[in-house]
Amino acid sequence: QVQLVESGGDLVQPGGSLRLSCTGSQFTLDVHAIVWFRQAPGKEREGVSCIGATNNDYHRDFARGRFTVSRNVDKNTVYLQMNDLKPEDTATYYCATSQKPLCTRWSNPEKYNLWGQGTLVTVSS
């Protein structure tokens, strides 16, 4: 079954770090742009970061400077490293792909036809 599987969500204190993983099952990630979204309770899903097939990366303003996105081709996994976490980062984080190589208009969730199940990140003291 083709799917994306996220992991790594946890409860972390403000200022802490987490690394989320998005692994492909029956699906090769390295030729596709992979996008991270998040959705907080009562809020719309929003784009966080995108990594293209050539490893160019893009971030929303709130993520720039704190979050990085990378790939491990051997493990068929894309990572979202999140540092200096804030309570407002609390959300369920999803990875998604439209099975295209570029991050064109990447932050529009309507573009994506393959999503993971999400992993919960809670930032609280």
What would the pLDDT profile of 88-119 be if each residue is shown by its tens digit?
999 999 999 999 999 999 999 999 999 999 99
For the chain, first and last CA: distance in Å? 39
Identify whether the C-beta of residue 22 lies closer than 8 Å to the C-beta of residue 36. yes
pLDDT tens digits along 17-63: 999 999 999 989 999 999 999 999 999 999 999 999 999 999 999 99
Q: How many CB atoms lie within 10 A of CB 41?
A: 7
